[in-house]
Structures are given as C-alpha cells and as structure tokens.
C-alpha cells in the first residue's frame, strides 16, 4: 500500500458562541477543515486540521512530496522525512502543526488498514479517560461563569477550569473566589491565563490564589519564557501547567529539565502528532510527570488512553459542540469520563450533508483578532 495524495477540505462554517481569552477574540462562527490522506487501495485517513489556510498550503505544497509514495505503516520514517525536509523553513509553529496534522491522519489511516482503534494500536493502558469541564470565555458575566462551572459539576466532572487574565487582576481573584464557593471544596479547580501575565504579576497572583486550592495554573507567562516559568514554579505551591504552545520533543525536554512544569500539556497536533506525542509522554513519565493534552478535536482521547501517565481529557464544550455537528460519530464525556471510539483509527467520520449545511461562509465574513492590549497585560508589572 502506498500513499497517493493528501488534501485539505474546504472550510466548514459552523455557528458558535463568541469567545475570548486573555489574548484573542473568536467570532460567533467556528471554522473547521479536515485532512485526508489517500492510498492506492482506496483507504483514506481523516483528521481535523488546526491552522486553517496556512496549514493547507504547508501540507499540500510543502509536505506532500515527502509523503506521497510512502507506506502509511512507516509513520516514523515519514515523520522524519517531513521534519528534515522542512528544517530550514521552520521547525516550530505552523510547520510543526502541519507535520502533526499529517502524522495524525496517517495514524488514523493505520487504524483503518489494520481495523483497530488508534488507542489499541498504541498499546492501550486504560479503556476510559478522566475528563474535565473547560470554560473558554474570559468575558462571561460572573453569574454565567458560576452557572457554567456548576453545570460541569452536575454533569459529573470532578475538575473544572476557568479563564483568568483580566486587565485588572482583582477581577480574576474575585471570580476565582465565586467559583470556588459555588463548586465547593471537593471539586478540583484549574486556571488558564493564556500567556497573559508578566513574571512579577504571576508570582504575586499565584501567592493570592493559593488559598483557593488551585489544581494547576496554566500558561501564566509567555510560552517562550521557559526560565520565567521555572522561576514561578519555584515561587508557588500551585502546580504549573504548560505545553499548548510548545512544539516538538526538544522544547518539552527544556520545560521538563528546567522543572518549569508539573503538568505537561502537549497538544497532540501542535507538538508534531501522535508519533512525537508518544516520545514527549515517555520523557515526562521518566521524570514522574503526567501528560494532559490541550483540547485537540477528538484526537487526544486515544493518546491519553494509551499512555500510563495520561491525566485528563479537556472537554471544551463551546468548541466541542460546533465541531461535533460535522461528524456522524465522536467521543463525548459521560459522568466525567470519556471512552475512545471502538472503531478503526480515531473513529470519526464526516456527515454526508456537512458541506450542504456548513459549506458557505457568513455574509458578514469572519474576523479573528488579538485583544487590544499591546504585547500583554500588565506589561512588566
């Protein structure tokens, strides 16, 4: 069997709730693409795409020549060909995301070739995965935020996560207090700052947040500032989580060796795909650390189920619901647990009417932009 082509689908436009975190605003429309890897025997691998049109160009024009003609079972060789082929063009960011997308599609294809779910191919460690409810809107009114967190608890989640990163840090402290009082002491609470704080601000806020029994503090400072993450980790009792915006095993090696993180959050797409995620997970395991991937549209559950140090699946409800409308089958948490699909590959399949229902862009267009805060807030305070 040989790979004959790789194509990225046209964009699907699914109505969604407008969202905002500390660094970006998302419109009331959710954009989705899918990557297909074709073979000469008619089998096709399928996974969601991160990065939109930029990823499409990188995959269809830059990466495809390294992949076409290869046996899809040889994922390690294909990964190395893509990485070394792009070495001088970029080894992080969009390039690694594109490599990860192709790699994941190849793993889905391997599952379809063998008739096995990906988590079984990887050597399944657990049949069901703990999941947590992830709130992704920094600007929810206080009452709505409390209702959202309570809703997660009522649905059976044993941990919830909320956004922080307001221009006035006192707003964050007050909202954390409200949520902790609402969910009680027996539910874990994590916070996600999305790179918003300077080191000085992060140290001071972590000190004030410690009484609220925070399970982890996610991306408190700029992802590139690994030394600052390590300094913060030494200054607070709150475990530091990061990895959503780190790429490849080399960056994770630095994060781990500098003891900058207690929870390794490798995104199964951005980090370089399943092939690279397994190496990152093994490295974390050797250092006694759990892996808890950033939400990655139906791909991460299989990886968490496969590795012994897999911690949680992130259930980002407001992202999950639009994406699920495109699929005939998908993983969905029940009572705080999620089970990988018992179907070949990752088990997802596009609906036949997806293009008809969601193939046209909204008349007003789609705008995504960063928040108007300069580089970050508060700057160096």
Residue 244 to residues 99, 223, 308: CA-CA distances in angstroms?
Answer: 16, 9, 20
Active site residue 294: yes
Q: Could you give the CA distance from residue 117 to residue 100 in angstroms, rounded to a whole number?
A: 18
Rounded to whole angstroms, the Cα distance separating 233 from 244 reads: 17
The answer to whether the beta carbons of residues 98 and 55 sit under 8 Å apart is yes
- Taking the C-alpha atoms of residue 277 and residue 35, their distance in angstroms, rounded to an integer, is 19
Sign for the CA dihedral angle at 259, 264, 265, 269 comes to positive
User: 93-114 vs 274-286: helix axis angle to the nearest 10?
Assistant: 100
Report the alpha-carbon distance of residue 42 to residue 60 in Å, rounded. 19
Report yes or no: 96 and 271 within 8 Å, Cβ to Cβ.
Answer: yes
CA atoms of 11 and 30, how far apart (whole Å): 10
| Phi, psi of 350, deg, nearest 5 | -70, 140
Q: What is the distance between the alpha carbons of residues 352 and 357, in angstroms, rounded to a whole number?
A: 10
Determine whether 163 is an active site residue. Answer: yes
Which stretches of 265-380 are DSSP H helices? 274-286, 300-306, 317-324, 354-358
Catalytic residue, chosen from 32, 163, 249, 270, is: 163
Q: Of 32, 119, 294, 315, which one is the catalytic site residue?
A: 294
| Cα 232 to Cα 220: distance, rounded to the nearest angstrom | 9
Please report the beta strands in 49-181, taking only residues with DSSP state E, as ranges in sequence order: 129-134, 159-163
Of the candidates 173, 174, 162, 111, which has an alpha carbon nearest to the alpha carbon of residue 138?
162
CA distances to 26, 78, 241 from 238, rounded to whole Å, are: 29, 40, 10
The rounded distance, in Å, linking the Cα atoms of 252 and 203 is 22
Nearest residue to 76 via CA among 99, 46, 52 = 99
- Residues with a catalytic annotation lie at 163, 294
């Amino acid at each position: 069997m040989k790979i004959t082509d790789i194509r990225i689908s046209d964009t699907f436009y699914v109505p969604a709730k407008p969202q905002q975190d500390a660094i970006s605003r998302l419109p009331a429309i959710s954009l989705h693409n899918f990557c297909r890897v074709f073979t000469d025997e008619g089998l096709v691998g399928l996974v969601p795409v991160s990065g939109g049109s930029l990823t499409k160009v990188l995959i269809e024009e830059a990466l495809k020549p390294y992949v076409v003609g290869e046996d899809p079972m040889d994922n390690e060789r294909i990964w190395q060909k893509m990485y070394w082929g792009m070495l001088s063009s970029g080894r992080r960011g969009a390039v690694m995301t594109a490599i990860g997308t192709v790699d994941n599609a190849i793993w889905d294809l391997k599952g379809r070739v063998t008739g096995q779910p990906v988590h079984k191919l990887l050597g399944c460690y657990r049949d069901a995965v703990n999941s947590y409810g992830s709130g992704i809107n920094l600007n929810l009114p206080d009452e709505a935020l409390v209702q959202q967190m309570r809703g997660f608890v009522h649905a059976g989640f044993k941990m919830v996560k909320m956004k922080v990163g307001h221009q006035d840090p006192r707003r964050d402290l007050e909202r954390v207090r409200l949520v902790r009082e609402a969910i009680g002491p027996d539910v874990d609470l994590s916070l996600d700052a999305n790179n918003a704080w300077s080191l000085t601000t992060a140290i001071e806020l972590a000190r004030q947040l410690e009484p609220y029994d925070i399970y982890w503090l996610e991306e408190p400072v700029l992802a590139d500032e690994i030394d600052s993450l390590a300094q913060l980790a030494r200054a607070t009792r709150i475990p530091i989580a990061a990895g959503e915006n780190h790429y490849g095993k080399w960056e994770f090696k630095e994060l781990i060796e500098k003891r900058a993180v207690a929870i390794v959050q490798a995104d199964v797409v951005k980090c370089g795909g399943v092939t690279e995620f397994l190496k990152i997970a093994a490295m974390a395991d050797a250092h006694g650390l759990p892996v808890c991937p950033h939400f990655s549209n139906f791909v991460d559950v299989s990886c968490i189920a496969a590795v012994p140090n897999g911690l949680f699946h992130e259930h980002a409800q407001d992202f999950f619901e639009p994406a699920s409308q495109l699929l005939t089958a998908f993983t969905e948490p029940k009572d705080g647990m999620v089970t990988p699909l018992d179907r070949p590959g990752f088990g997802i399949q596009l609906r036949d009417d997806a293009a008809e229902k969601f193939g046209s862009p909204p008349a007003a267009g789609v705008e995504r932009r960063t928040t108007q805060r300069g580089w970050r807030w508060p700057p160096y305070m």
